[in-house]
Amino acid sequence: NPQKHGTKSAAWYAFNQGKGVAPGDCAVVRFRITTKKPQGYLDEEEFDETMDQRIAEADEFYYKINPMPMADDLRNIQRQAFSGMLWCKQHYYFIWDQWANGDPGMPPPPPDRKHVRNEQWKHMHCDDILSMPDSWEYPFFAAWDTAFHCIPIAIIDPEFAKKQLDLFTREWYMHPNGQFSAYEWNFGDVNPPVHAWATFRTFKIERKMYGREDLDFLERVFQKLMMNFTWWCNRKDFDGKNVFEGGFLGLDNIGLFNRSDPLPTGGKLEQADATGWMAFYCLCMLNIALELAKHRRIYEDIASKFFEHFILIADAMQYRKGDSAKSLWNEEDGFYYDAITWGGGWSHQMPIRSLVGLIPLYATLTMEPEVIKRFPKFQQHVDWFIKNKHDVAERNMASMKKRGKEDRLLLALCNEERLRSILKYMLDEKEFLSPYGIRSLSKYHEKHPVSMDVNGQTYSISYVPGDSDSGLFGGNSNWRGPVWIAVNFLIIESCLRFYMFYGNTFKVECPTGSGEYMHLGHVAEELQHRLQHLMARNGEGRRAYNDGRDMLDFGPDWKDNLWFYEFFDGDTGRGLGASHQCGWTGLMAKMIHDTGLNCRLPQTPRTPTTAAAHYFDDVFSRQRRASLGGGNRRPSGPARSVTRKRSIGARSDWSQKTNGDADA
């Protein structure tokens, strides 16, 4: 600016002799940023050619990301999801010392500023480009949001995704005690531990799509994750029973009470989701340790540690010294519930069918027989545990002596009986299954609310599919019925991992009561398609999230420009919450990448074709190498004819035989 003062600047161009742009008129400014003094006027023809070239390069880049034939609408949704993830990058500047002490040369801030929220996070020194949940409505990081952001970002920019995951483990973000900073309003709050999962998925996506194995990244983050895992065990397993209290865990108003505050009933809240998350964390760490052990055998011992810790968590959550009355599993209902404990053996389960009871499904790992054989010390430890701790080993999920499809081993919280019971609820359209994914609270509670009277005050919860009716956490977020993409994504991956163990022999009704039976690979695909139908056009040309608004569905300036909402109505799919580009809804790009080829547009009766290949890259790559007779040679990506044309029309010239094999 002319005064050369301040921290921001902008170009100012006056149209119509300072009168501005008239109503209904259009004005375009063309400019370029250069370090050299321009010679004469801007060459309009050269400008057009340069813009056309940049557009062609972008089209070429995104087409190579997903060259398989799919509906134009889905390709547009995926492209805009990627675009939104990049748009929501933002410079985040927060240095605690400067915030607490004020600017130099200015009056000092109130003395109590040093003793308000985040006073335990004096080490925070943030001066980085971060992926924000929504750079307009949520212009501050949230650690578990960022983990989900990194999955679609890794497809197009794995270096940036890895940097995001690495940053949160660095000493200027991570607390010295090992806790991850949660979000700006309360760095000390607790988010679900998904960092290990996102780290390994990002590592695998880069390896599969770009042929690079960044072991330094994987090992560096893993070392810090072990500190964080220890923090969880020390701080959130108060009694050392391998049952975790967790607290907030990112699910806002999902329970009767504010889970960040002490219970009004007294006692402690033992959380099915917190314990499920920690079992999931264990298995992610086990997976990473075995990957690193391929290069440094010392990690075999670390893998053994996480294997045993998982078994102890599984046993504590479900059997608790053999007393089912004290477990978090309700045998009568066939579902997991939170429980309030008061000590001395007194406990009370809270019969609320919510996402809390589905999260234990996440804790699932299918292990390949060759992986176990590759590490004799690890196999020896597993065999010793089965032999000497057979009572615990036999109680864990299906018997650990049982092998699945292709002699695989399953580690999971749920045995086959419990898995069927949970899936019966999850795939019931009168419970969790909506036309657009899995609801966060069962529709059963619409007519059967749960309430509790405590000291003259009534606490209640009922099914609320749309905007929140609760003031908890500001009331602008709702986990009592809506569909949330991120947690649905993990449910889908869990179904695929179970499918890799059980194969085609394990089938469930989907939807429950329909008489149509599917194996879990098809169930996972069905859930992804339902989620894609949130944004894709239906037979009437409408998008569910627009809630029937003609301007957004049919207006020429709106119909193809999409909004990526924070969450969605559990009945209608209407978009809710942050709307501009809520980061984890960008996971839609990954789901389209995996199953968009088979997605039914417009929505039609289901014709299943499994897409499980997309997730289990190592397994399917091995199968493809065998079919090609190539030994250990890595396959190239899907072959395609050479053409300069990059429109998103018909792709009948592309081979579909390799669909999924080159996807991560």
pLDDT digit string (tens) for 106-118?
888 888 888 888 8
Within 10 A of 453 (CB to CB), how many other CB atoms are there?
A: 9
pLDDT at 416 over 70: yes
Is residue 500 within 8 Å of 584, Cβ to Cβ? no
Residue 562 corresponds to which tokens in the numbers above?
């999409």
pLDDT in tens, 118-128: 889 999 999 99
pLDDT at 3 over 80: no
What span, in angstroms and rounded, lies between the C-alpha atoms of 322 and 391?
A: 10
Q: What is the pLDDT of residue 400?
A: 63
Within 10 A of 439 (CB to CB), how many other CB atoms are there?
A: 30
pLDDT in tens, 437-456: 999 999 999 999 999 888 88
Provide the phi-psi class of 577: left if phi over 0, else alpha when psi is between -120 and 50, else beta: left
Mean pLDDT of 9-28: 86
Is residue 564 within 8 Å of 630, Cβ to Cβ? no
pLDDT in tens, 347-399: 788 899 999 999 999 999 999 989 889 999 999 988 888 888 877 766 655 55
What mean pLDDT is reported for the chain?
Answer: 84
Q: Is 549 in a helix, a strand, or coil?
A: coil
Label residue 459 exposed, middle or buried (CB < 10 Å: 0-12, 13-18, 19+): middle
Read off the pLDDT band of 480 (50, 70, 90): very high
| DSSP strands (E only) in 462-571 | 507-509, 517-519, 567-568
CA trace torsion 574, 577, 582, 588 (10° rounding) = -20
Within 10 A of 276 (CB to CB), how many other CB atoms are there?
A: 28
Is residue 143 within 8 Å of 228, Cβ to Cβ? no
Read off the pLDDT band of 345 (50, 70, 90): low
pLDDT at 639 over 50: no
Read off the pLDDT band of 661 (50, 70, 90): very low
Q: Where are the alpha helices (DSSP H) in 109-214?
A: 143-156, 158-167, 195-210
pLDDT at 640 over 50: no
- Which of 148-157, 282-291, 315-324, 460-469 has the least mean pLDDT? 315-324
pLDDT in tens, 491-511: 999 999 999 999 999 999 999
User: CA 250: distance to chain centroid?
Assistant: 12
Instruction: Write the CB contacts of 207 (distance below 8 Å, at least 6 apart in sequence).
Output: 213, 617, 664
Is residue 190 within 8 Å of 182, Cβ to Cβ? yes
Mean pLDDT of 10-38: 85
Read off the pLDDT band of 81 (50, 70, 90): very high
Pick from 165, 135, 160: nearest CA to 148: 165
Is residue 293 within 8 Å of 300, Cβ to Cβ? yes
Pairwise pLDDT comparison (254 vs 326), residue with the higher score: 254
pLDDT > 90: percent of the chain: 55
DSSP secondary structure letter of residue 441: B
What residue spans define the domains of the chain? 70-106+119-236, 241-321+339-351+364-411, 415-617
Mean pLDDT of 165-185: 95
What span, in angstroms and rounded, lies between the C-alpha atoms of 378 and 231?
A: 25
- Which of 230-244, 271-285, 549-563 has the least mean pLDDT? 230-244
What span, in angstroms and rounded, lies between the C-alpha atoms of 93 and 124?
A: 10
pLDDT at 206 over 70: yes
pLDDT at 533 over 70: yes
Q: What is the pLDDT of residue 257?
A: 77
Residue 25 corresponds to which tokens in the numbers above?
């008129």
Tell me which H or E stretch contains 48.
helix 44-65
What span, in angstroms and rounded, lies between the C-alpha atoms of 646 and 62?
A: 10
DSSP secondary structure letter of residue 401: T
pLDDT at 607 over 60: no
Q: What is the pLDDT of residue 255?
A: 77
pLDDT at 514 over 90: yes
Buried residues in 215-248 as b, exposed as e (16+ CB within 10 A)? bebbebbbebbbbbbebbbeebbeeebbbbbbbb
Mean pLDDT of 408-419: 91
Read off the pLDDT band of 459 (50, 70, 90): confident
Read off the pLDDT band of 212 (50, 70, 90): very high
Q: What is the pLDDT of residue 208?
A: 95
pTM of the model: 0.87
Instruction: Write the CB contacts of 128 (distance below 8 Å, at least 6 apart in sequence).
Output: 91, 92, 167
In order of 244, 317, 318, the CA distances from 322 in angstroms are 18, 11, 9
Q: What is the pLDDT of residue 108?
A: 86
pLDDT > 70: percent of the chain: 83
Handedness of CA 478, 545, 445, 427 (dihedral sign): negative
Radius of gyration (C-alpha) of the chain in whole angstroms: 26
What span, in angstroms and rounded, lies between the C-alpha atoms of 198 and 580?
A: 24
DSSP secondary structure letter of residue 569: -
Mean pLDDT of 461-465: 94
What span, in angstroms and rounded, lies between the C-alpha atoms of 103 and 119?
A: 18
Is residue 478 within 8 Å of 252, Cβ to Cβ? yes
